Copies of this chain bind each other. A is one copy, B any other.
Amino acid sequence: MSILVVGSVAFDSVKTPFGEATDVLGGSACYFSISASFFAPVNLVAVIGDDFPQAHLDLLQEFPIDLRGLQKVPGKTFRWAGEYGFALNEAKTLDTQLNVFESFKPEIPAGYRNCEYVFLGNIDPVLQRDVLSQVSKPKFVACDTMNYWITSKLEELRKTLAEVDILIINDAESRMLTGQPNLTKAARTICSWGPRILVVKKGEYGVAMYTDGSIFGAPAFPLEEVFDPTGAGDTFAGGFIGYLAKRGRLDDETLRKAVIYGSVMASFNVEDFSLNRLKRLKHSEIQERYRQFQALTHFEADHSL
């Protein structure tokens, strides 16, 4: 079944200790869409300016991504510039130009309104709820957010959280949202606000998923070269939601597999700048890395004590 995603399409300029890239394709909706499209068709809702080149649209259309919800308006496309040190877990934002994204008002095309799976990328929580008001009874809704909304619109964010099934954020956001340094306690608090599933991304330290009565922990894939972490979180969300949509189930076994597929997709994404690695990714490589994740984490039962 199709997935509806609402988020940003951007030009990113990124510096890492390993190189730099200027005005390359980025944005949460791009990373999410291409990643998810390996698992299920995606309907994309976002905004671009009239400076957005046809080549990028052509790239997106090489994947099963529907672009009828991609508004093109006069002005410049959203731009972000950031830098990473050797501690690749955290970006230093150098410049943000919202441009056409500043007045973005998501309009869900009629053909998208029956999507069963919805991912609300990191946008104003008021707009996230506005999107939900335009769709009819999705099977599940997942969302992301960031420190900016946690500090500036906490009340609105809490209202959005009351309407979603799955929240996917990083460990710092989880602590900030609850004021609770212990992640396990923070998870319990967040789940009492609405989401029945919380997925906490910890960058190079992996992922923890909290559901009612179960915690799942998975390490990140041990790479010798992390080239550019930009978009890793949205690429994770794409693999995670993509697999859930493909299976059409939310049981514990399926959710755990989805976390691994999300981790697999993120591990590929950081191997190159922008969407360069995802562009040339093959299904067989995804499947092979899933197997490597099993080899990485497996241990046998023991009853010797």
Contacts and interface: CB of A to CB of B under 8 A. Distances in A.
Interface residues of A, number: 54
Contacts of A296: 215-217
Interface stretch (A138-146, A149-157, A282-290): A282-290
Interface in A252-305: 253, 256-257, 259-261, 283-284, 286-287, 290-291, 294-305
A185 interface: yes
A7 B111 CA distance: 69
A218 B257 contact: no
Given A300-B256, A301-B294, A305-B283, A206 B214 contact: no
A225 B290 CA distance: 33
A257 B202 CA distance: 24
Contact of A202 (B39, B205, B225, B290): B205
B302 A257 contact: yes
Interface stretch (A41-49, A67-75, A176-184, A228-236): A176-184
**Chain A, interface SS category:** mixed
A109 interface: no
B304 A286 contact: no
A246 interface: yes
A24 interface: no
B217 A182 contact: no
A93 to B, nearest CB: 21
A38 interface: yes
A256 B299 CA distance: 6
A135 interface: no
Given A202-B205, A300-B253, A295 B214 contact: yes
Given A214-B295, A216-B297, A256-B299, 4 more contacts: A183-B222, A185-B224, A206-B206, A290-B305
7 contacts: A39-B305, A183-B204, A184-B224, A216-B297, A216-B299, A218-B299, A290-B305
